[in-house]
Amino acid sequence: MEPASLFHTPWPPYVQGTRPDNLRVLLKARRNDIRAAYVVYGDRYQHEMNLRATMTKVGTDEYHDYFIAPLPLTTGRYKYLFYIEDVDGGEAWFSDAGLSTDMWNTRVFQMPHVAALQPWSGPDWVQDAICYQVFVDRFRNGNNGNDPPKIQAWDSQPTLDTRLGGDLDGIIEALPYLKDLGVDLLYLTPIFAAPSGHKYDTVDYYKIDPEFGDHRSLTRLTGEAHKLGIRIILDGAFNHCGPGFFAFRDCLEKGAASPYRDWFYIHSFPVTMNPPNYETFGAAIPEMPKLRLSNPETRQYFIDVATYWIREADIDGWRLDVANEIDLDFLREMRNAVKKIKPDAYIVGEIWHGAEPWLRGDTLDGVTAYPWRDAGLAFFSGWRTDAAWMSGQLTKHYCSARPEALLSSLNLLGSHDTPRYLELMGGDFNKARLLVAYQMTSPGVPQIYYGDEVGMRGWSDPECRRGMAWDPACRNEEMLGYYKYLINLRRKYPALRRGYYCSLWQQPGDPMWGMLRLYPNGNVAVLFNTAWHERKVDLPGGWLKASDEVELVTLTGWARGHNLEPEQRQEHNEQIEQVEQGRKVSRRNGWRRPRRLPVSLTIGPQSAVLLAPKQVNG
C-alpha cells in the first residue's frame, strides 16, 4: 500500500461527534489499496486498547477510497490506531507516526476530550423538510394596491429592471397550493426596503418594502403558514447593503468624519461610487458596499436585526446571502442570539463550494449544496456519463463535513442566480425527471425553485426570474404530479430523509449509477439508468436484512425485479435446550431461515428505481 496516500487527523471532518455516545471516524487511502480496515481504540488513560470497529468503504473518488466507522463510546477520552489489510495480503498499523508493520513503532491518535467536539444543535425538523424558494416580485400578485410604478405584464420577458408586482399577500394566497405540493419550508428572497426588484441592496432592515406589503403582511403570512405546518425563513443580505443604507449614506455625506466609517471597507476619502473606492459585493458593484461585520457596532446592529424579526414576526430562521464572506465571529454570535429566542430556528448560508468550516455546529445549520448540484447536472445532462466519476463527486461531498450538517443543507437544482435546470437539460423531460428523482432521494433538504415544478424554463438572470406560471396553458401538470409523487415517497421512507450516503453502483464509464441510503431501521437503494437502452443488473443481498422482502418502486420509466423475496432454506445446526421428564436435554433442531439472494433487476432506458425492505414503510 502507498503510505503517502493514507490520511487521517483527529479533527473534523475526519472525527465527528455524531451523538454524545458515538464518534464517526474517517480514513482516506489510495484507491484499491486496502482490502479491509479496522479502528483499534480505548481509553487514553488505560494501557490496553481492547475495542475494535470495522470500517466500511462508503465510496471512491478519482484517487482515493473513503472508509468510515462509528465508535461507540464508554469514556470521554480516547486513543486509537488503524489496522489495515492491503489487497496483496499485507498487514500494517497506521498511526500519528505513519505506517508501520510493528505496533511498537506507532504513536496513537488521540481525542483528549470528546466534549471538545462541537455538539450538533441544528433543528431536527429540517431534515424532514421540503423547501420552496420564492422570488417575491415574480411569484404572485395578491394586492394591486401596492404595485410599483411601471409594472409590466406578468408573462412579459423580464429585464434587469422588471417589476411584476408579486407581494406577500400573493404568497398567502398561494399557501394552499404549496401545502398541496408537499412544501413545509418556505424561503423568501429579501423583502426589506430596497430600490431594486431583487432587494439585495437593502436600505432599511427594519422595514418591509412597500412593494411587498408591510409588517402586518409578514406577520399574517407567518401566522397563516404556521397553521398549515409551513415554516418561513427570510433572506438576510448582511454581507452588504444598498447605498441608501443610513450608515453608508452618512459616509457619503461626511467622509472621514462619519462615525460609521468603520462599518465598511473604505480605502480613501471622500467616498466615490464611480468607480467605488470601497469594498463591495462581487466585482466592484458600487450599489452593494460590503459591511465590516468584524466591527462590534456593525455586528451588534445586524444581530439585533436578526433577532427582531424572529421575535416580532415569528419567522423560523434565516438564509444568509454570501455567507462565506461573512465574519465567522458574527455568525457565531448571531447564531447564539437567534437560538436563544427560538432554539429550533434554521440558519442556512449561501456557499457555492466546500463548506466544512461553516458546518461544525457553531455557525450555520446547513449550506446551499452547489457541489451536489454540479455533480447531478453533469451526470444527468449527459455531459459526464460516468458512474465512477459521479460516485467520486458525491463521496467527496458527503465525506467533506459532519453528516448532520449535510442532511440539513439545501439540495437545489437551480435558483435566482442560475439557469433553470430544464433549460440545462435541453428541455428533455426524461432527463429532468431523472434529475428530480436524484434530488428527492439524496441526503439533504430538497429545495424547489418556484416554477420548476411546472416546467418553467430560462437561462440566467433575468430569464430565470420570469413570472410564476399560474396560467394552466403555460404549466406542465404532469411534471407537477411527478413532484408530488416523489415528495410522498420521500415522506414514506425515513431512509430517504435521514439515511447516510454510501456508493452502490460505480462502474467506470457506466451511464448507470446507484447509491445506498444507510438507516438503522432499513436501508434504501436507488439506481439511475441514464442510457437509451435497458440494463440488467444483479445486486448483492447484503445491503438488506436477510429476512427482508424487497419492495421495488419505479421512480421514472420502468423496471422489473427478480428474487425480491428471501429464499427459505432448511438449517440443522441450531442447538436448543428443552426440559424432558424433569431434566434439561440439549439437541439440534431443524428450522427454516430466510436467505437473501442477489436481487436481479431489469431497468428501462432513462429510468430510475428504488429498492427498500417492505417493513420499513411509513
pLDDT of residue 469: 97
Lowest mean pLDDT among 13-17, 96-100, 292-296, 566-570: 566-570
Task: For residue 164, tell me if it sits in a domain.
Answer: yes
502 and 534 share one domain: yes
352 and 231 share one domain: yes
Task: For residue 268, tell me if it sits in a domain.
Answer: yes
**In the listed set 352, 368, 384, which residue is the last one of a domain according to the structure?**
368
20-72 pLDDT per residue, tens? 678 899 999 999 999 999 999 998 888 889 899 999 999 999 899 999 999 98
- How many CB atoms neighbour CB 353 within 10 A? 8
pLDDT of residue 544: 66
- At 572, the pLDDT band (50, 70, 90 cuts) reads very low
39 and 163 share one domain: no
The SS3 assignment for 270 reads: coil
210 and 326 share one domain: yes
Lowest mean pLDDT among 32-46, 442-456, 508-522, 585-599: 585-599
Task: For residue 542, tell me if it sits in a domain.
Answer: yes
24 and 161 share one domain: no
pLDDT of residue 565: 67
276 and 339 share one domain: no
Task: For residue 492, tell me if it sits in a domain.
Answer: no
pLDDT of residue 117: 67
Looking at residue 190, the DSSP 8-state letter turns out to be: P
Task: For residue 398, tell me if it sits in a domain.
Answer: no
**In the listed set 69, 99, 116, which residue is the last one of a domain according to the structure?**
116
Measure CA of the first residue to CA of the last residue in the chain; give whole Å.
Answer: 45
The SS3 assignment for 240 reads: strand
Task: For residue 395, tell me if it sits in a domain.
Answer: no
174 and 285 share one domain: no
To which residue does cell 426589506 refer?
Answer: 192
Mean pLDDT of all residues in the chain?
A: 91
Question: Could you give the C-alpha distances from 136 to 181, 233, 471, in angstroms and in order?
Answer: 18, 13, 18
Do 356 and 324 contact (CB within 8 A), yes or no?
A: no
Mean pLDDT throughout 532-557?
Answer: 82
**Going by C-beta distance under 8 Å and a sequence separation of 6 or more, which residues neighbour residue 12?**
117, 356, 360, 401, 402
Kindly tell me if the per-residue pLDDT of 545 is higher than 80.
Answer: no
**Going by C-beta distance under 8 Å and a sequence separation of 6 or more, which residues neighbour residue 275?**
284, 286
- What's the number of domains the chain is made of? 4
Cα–Cα distance between 454 and 119 in angstroms, integer? 40
pLDDT of residue 617: 46
508 and 609 share one domain: yes
Cα–Cα distance between 345 and 306 in angstroms, integer? 11
- Percent of the chain exceeding pLDDT 90 equals 79
Task: Extract the runs of DSSP E, i.e. beta strands, from 76-140.
Answer: 78-86, 91-95, 98-100, 109-111, 131-134
Kindly tell me if the per-residue pLDDT of 616 is higher than 50.
Answer: no
pLDDT of residue 111: 81
Bridge partners, 595 (sequence order): 567
Report residue 28 CA to chain centroid gap.
Answer: 22
- At 314, the pLDDT band (50, 70, 90 cuts) reads very high
Residue 213 sits in which domain range?
148-239+293-368
Lowest mean pLDDT among 222-231, 240-249, 340-349, 574-583: 574-583
235 and 245 share one domain: no
Query: Which CATH number fits the domain that encloses residue 165?
Result: 3.20.20.80
Task: Quickly list H helices, 363-515.
Answer: 370-381, 387-398, 403-407, 421-424, 429-441, 477-492, 494-498
Cα–Cα distance between 560 and 53 in angstroms, integer? 37
Task: For residue 377, tell me if it sits in a domain.
Answer: no
230 and 262 share one domain: no
Cα–Cα distance between 275 and 290 in angstroms, integer? 15
Query: Which CATH number fits the domain that encloses residue 12?
Result: 2.60.40.10
**In the listed set 99, 116, 133, which residue is the last one of a domain according to the structure?**
116
Kindly tell me if the per-residue pLDDT of 567 is higher than 90.
Answer: no
Cα–Cα distance between 118 and 124 in angstroms, integer? 16
Kindly tell me if the per-residue pLDDT of 570 is higher than 80.
Answer: no
443-472 pLDDT per residue, tens? 999 999 999 999 999 999 999 999 999 999
**Would you please indicate which residues are annotated as catalytic (active-site) residues?**
321, 350
Bridge partners, 22 (sequence order): 19, 72
Picking from 97, 127, 126, the residue whose alpha carbon sits closest to that of residue 109 is: 97
**Going by C-beta distance under 8 Å and a sequence separation of 6 or more, which residues neighbour residue 569?**
592, 593, 594, 595
207 and 105 share one domain: no
Q: Which residue has better confidence, 73 or 359?
A: 359
pLDDT of residue 347: 98
For helices 296-313 and 215-227, the axis angle rounded to 10 degrees is 60
Burial class (CB in 10 A: 0-12, 13-18, 19+), 395: buried
201 and 172 share one domain: yes
- At 278, the pLDDT band (50, 70, 90 cuts) reads very high
Task: For residue 423, tell me if it sits in a domain.
Answer: no
